[in-house]
Structure 1
Amino acid sequence: MNQFKTLALLSVLSALLISISYYTIGGTGGVIIGVAIAAMTNLGSWFYSDKIALAAHQAQPVSKEAEPALYAMVEKLAAKADIPMPGVYILPTQSANAFATGRDPEHAAVAVTQGIMAMLSRDELEGVIAHELSHIMNRDTLTQAVAATIAGAISFLAQMLQYSMWFGGSNSREDNGPNPIALMATLILAPMAATVIQLGISRTREFAADAGAAQLTGNPRALANALQRLEASAKKMPMTGNPAYEPLMIMHAVPKQMFSGLFSTHPATDLRVERLMALEQEVATA
């Protein structure tokens, strides 16, 4: 089912990318350029999604000797989840966050920041790692990487169009030239459309990964506590980087502003905590 959703997401975002190219660049040339960008983006996100995401955050690989406690934690939870041992990486930032990436469990990686390792207790960090491994188990990482990569390409195209309008753009339209109205619509709507599509896959998958983490660790409260601390930390020390990769993170990288919750890639932390506490109650009752 997740593979079908990935294919559907890839198709919709690719169609959006090609349409933007057609209406802004114009004519057959615009379609050809859009198809070429979509093809390169799709192939790149399929084969190199993990490398792209890790490189974007300057993640460094971790050996068992360098970080024995972290490595052992990932190794134990991966064995419990019955998936291959993923690569382990550390992001050189004091912002507290974590993410998983890779096209399948055989090509996966888990990355945590220096900040999250310093801030969370062992049980809380274990809950976070279990959450990321749940994404790998559910094959969410490919879907999230495809969405992030193509959405990033759409935003990049819109930004390039904006520069072209500022520096030498024309308000006239030739038969096969760019449409000024489409240009303006693209600048405003394209990044928003890509984000809205991402919302359709991110929020439900976060709930599922939270539940998977609770099952792996048997300690829903530890993850709930971690989420609350991560949200508080994000307000004080937001994580910088390409916003297209925010859906990969366990917590939104920047603090939410007024109305931004409508376009947040993550469910409200209070709701995630509430569901985790309900799971704890179910376990206690059982």
Structure 2
Amino acid sequence: MQNSVQTLLIMGGLALVLSVPGYLLAGGLGVGVSLGVVTAVAFASSWVPARYILAEAGAGLLDRHQAPTLYRLLDALYHRAGLTSPPQLFYAPSSDLNAFAVGTRQDGGIAVSEGLLRTLTLRQLTGVLAHEVSHLQHGDTRVMSMAAAMTRLTLWLTTVLQISLLLMVPMILAGDIRLPWGMLLVVAFAPSLSTLLQLALSRNREYTADLDAVALTGDADGLASALDTLERHQGRWLETLFGRHPPAGLDWLRTHPPTEERIRRLAGLKEPPEASLHQDLEDDAHAPAEIIERPGPVARRYWIRRRR
């Protein structure tokens, strides 16, 4: 409930920040047009097939016979999450440890990288997949696309205001008009404030996805272990740049919350009454996730084929 309220407040803040430059440019009409454009962009983006987005990222579709264990996990996670569409799992031949979801509840996909599959155990990967399923379940991709559209439009409108201020300089110097301090403040702070709100929204949705992942798997320790492994492998470049501990101020510029805080929250959760998925894995829980066959090279228009 707290995360949901925070999401509504942040989205309201983004809309307010966007409305101010729109109002300065065209009054109430500018506010209405700005919010209408953002809504149209968000709904239009939901019509883009997940397969197209992932194909452009170089990810190939894994068929069921290529990764039967992972599809068995996704089937169970989709069922627990109430998703009726068949799961789509994509493979990215990258050494980075990464997983991400795109699309909507009706046409969504989850991509996992080669580095992630080689590093995490099946139990850890179950928590990561549940985290991504939660993003699809709650439409986080649409929420974040709307937030990104608000931020971009805020930047464009303030750019128009900057051009307007430049055109007004001769009249200001001649004393014909007064210096518009309100417009100057909007131009100075609106883009940065919108960006910070978008990043805060992203961190909020990550916290929510962690909580929902535990509700889906019944295994907080599995996800916490996966996060710890990811931090140890991917946090090294920060240690190289900034020493042993990165500056605390960087937390404001992260799309994901600090891993230590995510693990602390997971440690404080009570296990759901539903049986853990990893208990069904038996001896395979600590083994790497197996892909029997990697997909071939991604054809440019392969995403047009019908879903299986």
- Scaled to the shorter chain, the TM-score interval is 0.5 to 0.7
Residue correspondence of structure 1 range 251-266 to structure 2 within 5 A: 257-266=247-256
Q: How much does 1:223 deviate?
A: 0.8
Instruction: Report whether the alignment pairs 1:43 with 2:40.
Output: yes
- TM-score for the superposition, normalised by structure 2: 0.63
Distance 1:262 1:205, change over 3 A: same
Partner secondary structure for residue 193 of structure 2: helix
Q: How much does 1:261 deviate?
A: 1.5
Alpha carbons 1:18, 1:34 under 8 Å: kept: yes
Instruction: Report whether the alignment pairs 1:98 with 2:99.
Output: yes
Q: How much does 1:146 deviate?
A: 1.8
Q: What are the Cα deviations for residues 106-154 of structure 1, in whole angstroms up to 9, with x where unaligned?
A: 2333233343233322211111110111233334343233223322433
Instruction: Report whether the alignment pairs 1:277 with 2:267.
Output: yes
Report what 2:282 is aligned to: none
Q: Which has the larger Rg? A: 2
Q: Percent identity?
A: 26
Q: How much does 1:44 deviate?
A: 1.9
Q: What are the Cα deviations for residues 10-34 of structure 1, in whole angstroms up to 9, with x where unaligned?
A: 56534422422444xx456xx7666
Q: Distance in 2 between matches of 1:55 and 1:163?
A: 34
Distance 1:131 1:71, change over 3 A: same
1:100 maps to amino acid: A
Alpha carbons 1:99, 1:110 under 8 Å: kept: yes
Report what 2:284 is aligned to: none
Report what 1:242 is aligned to: none
Distance 1:114 1:22, change over 3 A: farther
RMSD between superposed Cα atoms in Å: 4.3
Q: Distance in 1 between matches of 2:235 and 2:58?
A: 22
Report what 1:55 is aligned to: 53
Residue correspondence of structure 1 range 162-201 to structure 2 within 5 A: 169-170=166-167, 172=169, 185-186=185-186, 188-198=188-198, 201=201
Q: What are the Cα deviations for residues 184-228 of structure 1, in whole angstroms up to 9, with x where unaligned?
A: 545542233223433554444333322221232232212111112
Q: Distance in 2 between matches of 1:74 and 1:223?
A: 15
Q: Distance in 1 between matches of 2:182 and 2:226?
A: 44
Distance 1:274 1:6, change over 3 A: closer
Alpha carbons 1:173, 1:180 under 8 Å: kept: no
Report what 2:300 is aligned to: none
Alpha carbons 1:96, 1:234 under 8 Å: kept: yes
Alpha carbons 1:219, 1:280 under 8 Å: kept: no
Instruction: Report whether the alignment pairs 1:268 with 2:258.
Output: yes
Distance 1:209 1:55, change over 3 A: same
Distance 1:281 1:66, change over 3 A: closer
Alpha carbons 1:86, 1:109 under 8 Å: kept: yes
Q: Distance in 2 between matches of 1:207 and 1:8?
A: 16
Alpha carbons 1:172, 1:180 under 8 Å: kept: no
Distance 1:7 1:129, change over 3 A: same
Q: How much does 1:78 deviate?
A: 1.1
Q: Distance in 2 between matches of 1:258 and 1:46?
A: 36
Q: How much does 1:97 deviate?
A: 2.6
Report what 2:306 is aligned to: none
Residue correspondence of structure 1 range 67-78 to structure 2 within 5 A: 67-69=66-68, 70-78=70-78
Q: Distance in 2 between matches of 1:113 and 1:265?
A: 19
1:17 maps to amino acid: L
Q: Which moved more, 1:4-13 or 1:106-115?
A: 4-13
Q: Distance in 1 between matches of 2:46 and 2:116?
A: 23
RCO comparison, higher one (Cα < 8 Å, 6+): 2
